[in-house]
Chain A
Amino acid sequence: MTDKTAKLIFWGGTLSSLILFLILTVDTHRQVGALTHADKLSAQVLDGKRAFQKYNCNDCHTILGFGGYYSPDLTRVYSRRGPDYIRNVLQHPEVAFANSFRKMPQQHISETEIGNLVAFFEWVNNIETNDWPPQDSKKYRAANRLSSAAGVSRGAALFQENRCFDCHKLEGVGGDTGPALDQAGQRHDEETIKRIISQPQSVNPQATMPSHEDMSASDVSAIAEFLAKQKGEGR
């Protein structure tokens, strides 16, 4: 190779890539408003972003998949858990995660800041991310349920699809935020379980479990029927 070709590769390569990149950057700026619903970016959402940065949440939690990998991604936390649950976690992380093997610090966040953070998560929840993350994609979870329902009851498959395992153990598998449900059928009848699922506060006003009001009645029944059968023979 001659010196001249080498220089040609250098300038040609660098400039072509740079120009393409800059053009696409301009175009991304043109489209990003629609993709992120920037019209809904209110002053409260902005304050929420400021609080998010102030408490350095991002060095434990990823958001849009970036940051520390120590705790759950927060891109879709609003639809995953709902505002009340998020509020409760931010007020009392030491209580919410008392049984967990990994802790979140009590940072004494003010009520206003908590409201702002929730507004921020609500806005982030609607960013169009090409259906990432898969674990929070409705489409993806439903497809998984269909493929697994063949082997188990519909109730069990829905229990998995609706992430009840995130917080509850069955036969030793699952999270620690809520109680294990191996004896759910002994503690509650099927009707009560239905109410706990769709509106936990209607059974226990202090409940912190997220409500599932938009779940269809037939799905709620199927899960409740499945849980009512759990009478502690497991394990």
Chain B
Amino acid sequence: MIAYKSQRIAYPYFVVALFLFALQVVMGLWLAINYAFTLPQGLVDVFPFSTARAFHTNLLVLWMLLGFMGGTYFMIPEESKRELFSVKLAWIQLILLVGTGVTALIGFLFGWTQGRPLLEIPTSLDFLIVIGALIFLYNVGMTMIKARNWTMTQGTLLAGLVTLALLYLFGIPFYHNLSIDWYYWWWVIHLWVEGAWELVTAALFAWLLMRITGVDRRVVEKWLYVEIGLFLFTGIAGTGHHYYWIGAPKYWLWVGGIFSALEPVPILLMVWDTLRHVKERKAAINNPVVWMFAIGCAIYHFVGAGVWGFLHTLPQINYYTHGSQVTVSHGHLAFFGAYALLNLTVFYYVFAQLKGITNFRQVLGKWGFWVTSISMFLMGLAFGVAGVLQSYLERKLGLGYMVTHQNMQLWFHIVLVCGLFFLLGVIIMIYDLLTLKEEKAR
């Protein structure tokens, strides 16, 4: 049921992504165990929390980027009405990126790291990643150029991908001044998740909505302009919400506070937009699971990023919550809601297309969705309670860090339990995706 043979390249990207996702979650559980229990010194010496955290977050970024890339390779032929420029290049790129990723992870075990959170990958490997990204952009760009079927959705996607790659460059140098270091660290992290990634996912999401709802392209694309315009308007200057306490000038308290407080607006618009398209659909709902993931993603995106982000974005509040478990709570809900669910939505849609299934088995997908969504939400709440306790006891009352953490232990045990359920949900989902088949006629 695919129109272009080269779309098949999405499959290996997604399978690798799913595998890395499972590994990421296992590492998350290990981090929670580090929090909840006292580990022996001998173990801490050889596999410390720091290394496990680098695993957890790098796996996260890697599987999500592979998901976006696979999604792009699937979408571009349909949008531009042409086979991909080169399937071979897409394979080379996949092998290069996964090889680099695995090398980086093994390197972390031996202390080979750049030592900056989320950007631990050593500089020499960064260059391989840049090469991988260039191959990808070249492949996508050439397909679009040769096809000459420009659409707004393609343009948004390409703009997002190019920006994503350019921003990564700011994470590579060794900065002398720690404040400047963090200033540009956020050009990668914030401008990714609240800028470039929003563009990429907005485009993928718009394309998917057009496919499954059959709503007119003109309507979808008009609102896409408004959404990404507002995303970028609030998100670019909103970077300032990370510059309150780093040794940057005071005006960031105003600029960061005001612009980032507006960041939930475009997300809300996107939710409203999605629900409206679903209501005005011209196509029948044939795979409810895909719709469930799509609507769930829009709402969860708003809760995790919009609501949870807003809660601690004003400087008066951030003064107490900055760098506490409140941040972890938001990080998880936002990443899961906005980007994990988006990838999974695309995976479900694309897997069914690739396998030529019109009506696939629904029950496991529904279980996977609810088990992961609910357990992640409860996990976010547990991190959140721990974070509020920390903000109050450590920052407001001035108890020491370790004394405060003694009083937070209960919540890390709860995180661990939620995490186990989350892993269960992920396993259900991966099994379901890999064995997706036609529902037996009843």
A interface residues with partner B (beta carbon < 8 Å): 1, 3, 6-7, 9-14, 16-18, 20-21, 24-25, 27-29, 31-32, 35-36, 38, 41, 46, 49-50, 52-60, 62-73, 94, 100-107, 124, 127-130, 132-135, 140-141, 144, 160-161, 163, 165-167, 173-177
Contact = CB atoms under 8 A, between A and B. Distances in A.
B234 to A, nearest CB: 7
A106 B250 CA distance: 39
A50 B116 CA distance: 11
B310 interface: no
A53 B115 contact: yes
Contacts of A163: 398, 400
| Closest 10 pairs (CB-CB, A-B) | A53-B115, A13-B233, A65-B323, A166-B400, A10-B229, A59-B50, A132-B245, A13-B229, A6-B225, A72-B401
A131 B309 CA distance: 23
B251 A24 contact: yes
Interface of B: 34-35, 38-41, 44-45, 48-51, 53-54, 111, 113-117, 120, 174, 176-180, 182-183, 185, 218, 222-223, 225-226, 228-230, 232-237, 239-240, 243-253, 255, 259, 319-320, 322-325, 327-328, 394-403, 405-406
Given A32-B177, A64-B245, A140-B398, A53 B114 contact: yes
A32 B225 contact: no
B115 A3 contact: no
Contact of B247 (A62, A94, A127, A166): A127
Contacts of A141: 398
A66 B117 contact: yes
12 contacts: A3-B222, A11-B229, A13-B233, A18-B232, A24-B251, A27-B249, A54-B113, A58-B115, A65-B322, A70-B49, A132-B319, A165-B403
Contact of B41 (A24, A67, A94): A94
B318 to A, nearest CB: 9
A130 B395 contact: no
Given A1-B222, A28-B243, A65-B322, 18 more contacts: A6-B223, A7-B225, A10-B229, A20-B255, A32-B248, A36-B179, A59-B115, A60-B48, A66-B182, A68-B49, A72-B402, A73-B401, A102-B38, A102-B405, A105-B50, A129-B246, A165-B399, A165-B400
A77 to B, nearest CB: 10
Contact of A127 (B38, B179, B225, B400): B179
Contacts of B246: 64, 127, 129
Contact of B394 (A57, A58, A102, A135): A135
A175 B125 CA distance: 41
Nearest to A11: B229
A54 B115 contact: yes
B35 A70 contact: yes
A177 B41 CA distance: 15
A55 B111 CA distance: 7
A59 B319 contact: no
Contacts of A133: 245, 322-323, 395
Contacts of A60: 48-50, 53
A17 B49 contact: no
Nearest to A25: B183
Given A56-B54, A68-B53, A129-B245, A21 B402 contact: no
A1 B183 CA distance: 38
Contacts of A1: 222, 226
Contacts of A63: 178
B423 to A, nearest CB: 21
A102 B33 CA distance: 11
Contacts of A41: 176-177
B395 A134 contact: yes
B253 A68 contact: no
A36 B54 contact: no
B202 to A, nearest CB: 12
A64 B178 contact: yes
B177 A68 contact: no
A163 B117 CA distance: 29
Nearest to A173: B403
A212 to B, nearest CB: 15
